[in-house]
Amino acid sequence: MQQPRAQPHSPSNNASTDDAETTGSRVSLWPSNSSIALLLRGQAFRDRNAVSHAHHESRRGTRPPHSGSCEAHTTQRQLSQGQSLVHNVIRPLEERGNRVDLFVTETSGSCALVPQLLRVFGTHRIVASDTASVVRSQFQSIRRCVDQFKAHRVGTEAYALVLITRHDLSWRRAITRTAADPAKFNFLSRCEVKAVDDCVNDAFVSLPGRGDFFGTLDSVIGSAHCFNPNASSQQPDSTGHFCGNYLRQTHGRECIAFLTDWRPMRRVTDPGNPVANL
């Protein structure tokens, strides 16, 4: 697939512009009295400095690529991030009469800290979990997460909505009061201002569970510019930043929305996102 040409967009890095007038009116757009799947991916209890060093060392073959996760000194922060997910994502959806099923992958490899996090999520919500796998790339992480969900006997069509997010997000706003359009693919935000406008922050994505939305996402993972398994960890193509280009080819230019119109200035980890921070 070829990437379509980027289209101009007026960036905003001011949280106060984040549709204070419109987010309240969007609550009714979210499913009610339905089933929603929440997929959690990646490594938990991460020390960002250690992770950065580990990526450098793993390329030299001197340190395993999962080093920097399952760090005991990050426990309180990780549990707080888990609590923010419950408070701002799970409960607002449950308050609309939905059942939220969790499909949890944690890919540090049998991290002894993970049971604490599962209790924060609420074990009664967890339909499936894999906390023993070790992965070496973002492609393997998202693929393990998606494949676990696909293996569930109920199937993707049983869910009105599918959410995919990472363990290391700190949620600041109820998802039902964001700028999202649940009838579309929704990413956390656009990338930093200096990036092309088609670049998306893939730390979160939601999509309708019914129809061919999930099948499209599943089919493009591993493409040249969407979690490319052959790209190095330092290349943008190893991430999901350009997955949106493929989604638009199938579902049209207007198929993508964002939880916020806020845009980071330097990198996607910049603080200030009014919905959720990495």
pLDDT in tens, 104-150: 999 999 999 999 999 999 999 999 999 999 998 999 999 999 999 99
With 60 as the cut, is the pLDDT of residue 45 above it? yes
With 60 as the cut, is the pLDDT of residue 90 above it? yes
Task: Report pLDDT for 26.
Answer: 83
d(CA 112, CA 64): 18
- Nearest-CA neighbor of 203 among 170, 160, 172, 176? 170
Q: Flag the least confident range among 13-27, 152-166, 185-199.
A: 13-27
Q: Give the pair of three-digit tokens for residue 94.
A: 């449950």
pLDDT in tens, 16-34: 444 544 566 689 999 999 9
Task: Report pLDDT for 51.
Answer: 52
What would the mean pLDDT of 47-62 be, rounded to a whole number? Answer: 55
Q: From the CB of residue 28, how many other CB atoms can be counted at a distance below 10 Å? A: 9
Task: Report pLDDT for 157.
Answer: 79
Look up the pTM and report it: 0.88
**Can you give the residue ranges of every domain in the chain?**
32-177, 190-204+212-269
Q: What residues contact residue 113 under an 8 Å CB cut-off, 6+ apart?
A: 44, 45, 70, 72, 75, 78
What would the mean pLDDT of 197-217 be, rounded to a whole number? Answer: 95
